[in-house]
């Protein structure tokens, strides 16, 4: 065998060993991140990996005086790679979205300790004003109200509703909470405190997605439900732990996997946030991890990071015309706080016994192309005897009022007809008796 081939083979072998050593140190670093829960912005894990690598390099180089420093090369490379996970690239102090030009932002301090951003759309025509105030609970769970939602709230105000909305604690322009204080029960207490602070008696309320979960749990609590006049539950997530464990089917095909990839910067392309958010989503880091603080994570996360989650809120037929839901300057989402609240839902015991005692008139809205598990939605209908009607919304996905075609007007017609006690624009479907067939037919 020629000498050059032998040298090339030796070089390739040494290169592979070096790459394997770098990979091993990266694995040690990631394991240390998990063990230390990211303590000290990941510095503790970084020092552990560098320490392990240095000891291994010293052991390898103890008999090679001429090349004693060579075993440290993989350590240096691994140290440089993993250091990028420890260095913040987003501000570590919370940066709130700027004020909206079309509605004033009020800040209310609730008795629960939460300070929330509040938006008020008075009825455009005082002569058609509806006597009961209207409150909107947006999805998230800890996400700012999108511009798309604001436009829908303006539509309701133009129809004579006195509309109020607030961003949950930690979302949008609302103040952050200590991570340990986020929970689904805190969200329900904040709702009750908000209605009390509003001081206008009982309210009509629309809860969308995770806001629908908050509303469902509020209906199951007599002390909170006493503040509610009528309730509209739109596209709810799981209401408790047993429901969250259900694995069923979704609605008709959504645009997930069909829509063009979202453009714009992504924090998940930055090693620090890719590691932090990825490990949190896998449950290997706690939401209050020392790797990335809550404020930094909120500042870093962008709309593009939601990726296919946004597309899943639209029907497959709309894949190539999905509207821009929000502006980059208004977008706000707290991944850590959202995971924390979702975990408290999963840990919650069955809500069914309490919900069966609900007496607040309610309506359930289900989208044809819903990305929610159908049993999450039908569980509300099956267990809440006060749900008076169900409206199956054809031609829309999870985000029912999406600004496309006449979808906003159709959603508003369904909601206002129920709030005013008028006949429903759509058939009452599925009824409680129709739930088994509805699920069996994969509607």
Helical residues (DSSP H) of 282-404, grouped into ranges:
294-300, 308-311, 335-347, 352-355, 374-383
Q: Are the beta carbons of 286 and 37 closer than 8 angstroms? A: yes
Q: Cα angle vertex 96, ends 143, 38, to 5°?
A: 70
Q: Is the pLDDT of residue 66 over 50?
A: no
Q: Is the pLDDT of residue 19 over 60?
A: yes
Q: Considering only residues 317 and 67, tell me which one the structure prediction assigns the higher pLDDT.
A: 317
Q: Is the pLDDT of residue 63 over 90?
A: no
Q: Cα angle vertex 223, ends 220, 229, to 5°?
A: 75
Q: Looking at residues 349-353, what average pLDDT do you find?
A: 97
Q: Are the beta carbons of 28 and 48 closer than 8 angstroms? A: yes
Question: And the tokens for 352?
Answer: 């069914």
Q: Lowest-pLDDT range, 69-73, 178-182, 266-270, 347-351?
A: 69-73
Helical residues (DSSP H) of 271-334, grouped into ranges:
271-281, 294-300, 308-311
What is the value of pTM for the model shown? 0.92
Q: Is the pLDDT of residue 301 over 80?
A: yes
Average per-residue pLDDT for the chain:
92
Q: Looking at residues 366-383, what average pLDDT do you find?
A: 96
| CATH architecture for the domain at 106-440 | 3-Layer(aba) Sandwich (3.40)
pLDDT tens by residue, 187-228: 999 999 999 999 999 999 999 999 999 999 999 999 999 999
Half-sphere exposure of 3 (CA within 13 A, CB side): 0
pLDDT tens by residue, 122-174: 998 767 789 999 999 999 999 999 999 999 999 999 999 999 999 999 999 99
Q: How confident is the model at residue 24 (pLDDT cuts 50, 70, 90)?
A: confident
Q: Looking at residues 325-344, what average pLDDT do you find?
A: 96
Q: Which residues pair with 391 in a beta bridge?
A: 365, 428
The full set of domain ranges for the chain reads 3-86, 106-440
């Amino acid at each position: 065998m020629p000498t050059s081939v032998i040298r090339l083979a030796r070089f390739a072998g040494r290169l592979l060993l070096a790459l394997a050593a770098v990979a091993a140190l990266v694995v040690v670093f990631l394991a240390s991140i998990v063990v230390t829960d990211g303590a000290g912005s990941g510095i503790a894990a970084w020092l552990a990996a560098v320490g392990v690598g240095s000891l291994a390099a010293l052991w390898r180089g103890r008999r090679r005086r001429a090349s004693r420093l060579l075993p440290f090369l993989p350590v240096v490379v691994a140290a440089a790679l993993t250091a990028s996970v420890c260095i913040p690239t987003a501000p570590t102090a919370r940066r709130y979205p700027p004020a909206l030009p079309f509605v004033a932002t009020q800040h209310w301090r609730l008795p629960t300790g939460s300070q929330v951003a509040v938006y008020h759309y008075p009825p455009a025509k005082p002569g058609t004003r509806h006597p009961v105030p209207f409150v909107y609970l947006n999805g998230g769970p800890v996400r700012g109200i999108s511009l798309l939602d604001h436009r829908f709230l303006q539509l309701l105000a133009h129809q004579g509703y006195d509309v109020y909305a607030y961003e949950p604690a930690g979302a949008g322009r609302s103040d952050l909470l200590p991570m340990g204080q986020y929970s689904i029960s805190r969200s329900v207490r904040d709702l009750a405190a908000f209605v009390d602070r509003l001081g206008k008696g009982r309210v009509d309320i629309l809860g969308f997605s995770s806001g629908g979960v908050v509303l469902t749990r509020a209906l199951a609590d007599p002390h909170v439900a006493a503040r509610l006049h009528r309730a509209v539950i739109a596209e709810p997530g799981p209401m408790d732990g047993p429901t969250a464990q259900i694995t069923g089917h979704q609605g008709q095909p959504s645009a997930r996997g069909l829509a063009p990839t979202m453009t714009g910067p992504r924090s998940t392309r930055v090693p620090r946030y890719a590691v932090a958010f990825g490990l949190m989503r896998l449950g290997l880091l706690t939401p209050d991890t020392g790797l990335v603080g809550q404020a930094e994570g909120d500042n870093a996360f962008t709309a593009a990071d939601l990726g296919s989650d946004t597309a899943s809120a639209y029907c497959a037929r709309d894949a190539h015309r999905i509207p821009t839901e929000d502006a980059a300057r208004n977008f706000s989402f707290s991944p850590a706080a959202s995971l924390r609240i979702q975990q408290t839902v999963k840990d919650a015991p069955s809500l069914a016994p309490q919900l069966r005692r609900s007496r607040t008139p309610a309506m359930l809205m289900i989208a044809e192309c819903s990305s929610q598990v159908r049993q999450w939605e039908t569980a509300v209908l099956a267990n809440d005897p006060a749900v008076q009607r169900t409206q199956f919304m054809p031609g829309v996905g999870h985000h029912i009022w999406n600004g496309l075609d006449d979808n906003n007007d159709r959603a508003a017609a369904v909601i206002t007809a129920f709030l005013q006690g008028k006949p429903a624009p759509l058939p009452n479907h599925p009824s409680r008796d129709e739930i088994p067939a509805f699920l069996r037919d994969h509607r």
